[in-house]
A and B are shown apart, each in its own frame.
Chain A
């Protein structure tokens, strides 16, 4: 079982939180999944290469051309808040 403290650390990295009544249940299911994926430890992978990408190609590199960008209006079209053409984050008390 993964400790509550560890879960809180991971939650902090993930910018997620679980309140008191959630965390027990969460920790249990989370641990189950981690236990399940532990299965991989059975596999002997000594000397086996990693596959991060199945595409065997090498990177296409584009030419350094400038194309049209969004207008300010398009750029901000989904902004939760905006002001003077900027995306806005409200006053935050630290």
Chain B
């Protein structure tokens, strides 16, 4: 039997404006509890919302980046429900006229690119946060209440957890590129709800849709989807019918758990927000946003290939994230060899970043430091191998390469006089090797160079050591 998995996403991303969507309170993360609040975001009686222009602008930026149609006239609506996080008993959101409609994100597949369609992008307000108190009550902090969000809804166009991961990575990169969100899933600035079901291709029999919540990382999304995919296929195999339900991912036990079974659709009683009037978006405004949009990943990749003369593969990897691309471009400034920089970043730097599950932003050293390191290598001041050691030190301590090299005395010995003494000493102690070399065993030369390196703890300039050994042997 062949099965087809059908997945759609609803993504909420906090926008990084200075102030909240409907009031002038700061959106800054952290801060003392309930100190980023005012009558509006506390929902006090009589307080009224006033929309932040930047929020609309960021929404439009996203729409442009994802090839959506931007509404020329839109409005805000109220979504009514009771929840302690929600101060007014309604969320100001958008119902039937979203800011952006349609669009797509392209993901790379083995058999070429695939378009994942976006249904809509709208703007809305975030809710407050609650934590448990030691006596079992809830404690409410409204610093996040009214922080602007965009909600991106996709069509059910993804067919595997892997594709979802690709999609999310692309989405994240783009949102970072256009500078509307810092997209940190772990901190909750990017939240992702997933709808999944599976269809038996031959018979067309489908499972009911499961909605997944509490997915705190891309990894969790993939794992939860893999789990659900299996569970749904199992249901089909057993011929069981499942209910439409919401499940959450339990990271500890690696399984999904039922939160609630959905009985009919919730009645949110949407209606146009009467405290706001219609929002008109002028064509010129859209055009100026389009013109000033930061370079998108695809354009950057093309530029890298041309400007730095690096292979398409390299350019693709380096432009995966805005921060990585910026790191590369910064580093290149200090080096004469863009391909060399690319090799180092794609190799040692990314490997370490992936191993430690950190981001380029979290590095202890700067692009300037890396540039300096590569320059040391290019200039023959240290060897490639020493360079790798220095880089490891930079990861650990954040010290600049010159400091590390100085502290550990790693500068390559390129002074003939100094090295000659060591070479002579090595040759004296290895008469046999000289004989071997003279008898045509070329390997013996390598051994001798190795001995010199050992003697200098790797600091000898290997080319110079090689030359000196040959000179001395010739003399003999």
Report which A residues bind B (CB closer than 8 A).
13, 15, 52-53, 55, 57-67, 69-72, 75-76, 78, 83-92
Contact = CB atoms under 8 A, between A and B. Distances in A.
Interface in B126-160: 130-131, 133, 135-142
B277 interface: yes
A57 B75 CA distance: 13
Contact of B34 (A53, A64, A75, A78): A75
**Dominant SS among interface residues on chain A:** loop
Contact of A64 (B53, B130, B136, B141): B53
Given A59-B276, A69-B38, A85 B24 contact: no
29 contacts: A13-B267, A15-B82, A52-B271, A52-B272, A52-B274, A53-B272, A53-B274, A53-B278, A59-B276, A59-B278, A60-B50, A61-B53, A62-B53, A65-B18, A65-B19, A69-B26, A69-B37, A70-B34, A72-B34, A72-B35, A83-B133, A83-B139, A84-B139, A85-B33, A86-B34, A87-B34, A87-B140, A89-B140, A91-B136
Contacts of A67: 19, 24-25
Contacts, number: 116
A57 B444 CA distance: 89
Contacts of A70: 34-35, 37-38, 42
B272 A64 contact: no
B24 to A, nearest CB: 4
B149 to A, nearest CB: 15
Given A69-B36, A72-B33, A85-B34, A57 B26 contact: no
B32 interface: yes
A42 to B, nearest CB: 23
A72 B141 CA distance: 10
Nearest to B148: A64
Contacts of B53: 61-64
Given A86-B133, A89-B138, 10 more contacts: A13-B269, A59-B277, A62-B50, A65-B24, A67-B25, A69-B25, A69-B36, A70-B38, A86-B131, A86-B140
Contacts of B140: 86-89
Contacts of B52: 61-62, 64
B259 interface: no
Contacts of B137: 83, 88-92
Contacts of B84: 89
A86 B351 CA distance: 43
Interface in B281-339: none
Given A53-B274, A67-B24, A89-B138, A62 B33 contact: no
A44 to B, nearest CB: 23
Contacts of A65: 18-19, 24
B119 interface: no
B38 A66 contact: no
A2 to B, nearest CB: 16
B24 A66 contact: yes
- Tell me which of A63, A65, A66 has the highest count of chain B C-beta atoms within 10 A of its own C-beta: A66
Nearest to B87: A87
A1 B36 CA distance: 49
B32 A66 contact: no
Contacts of B419: none
Contacts of B26: 66, 69
Given A83-B133, A83-B139, A58 B50 contact: no
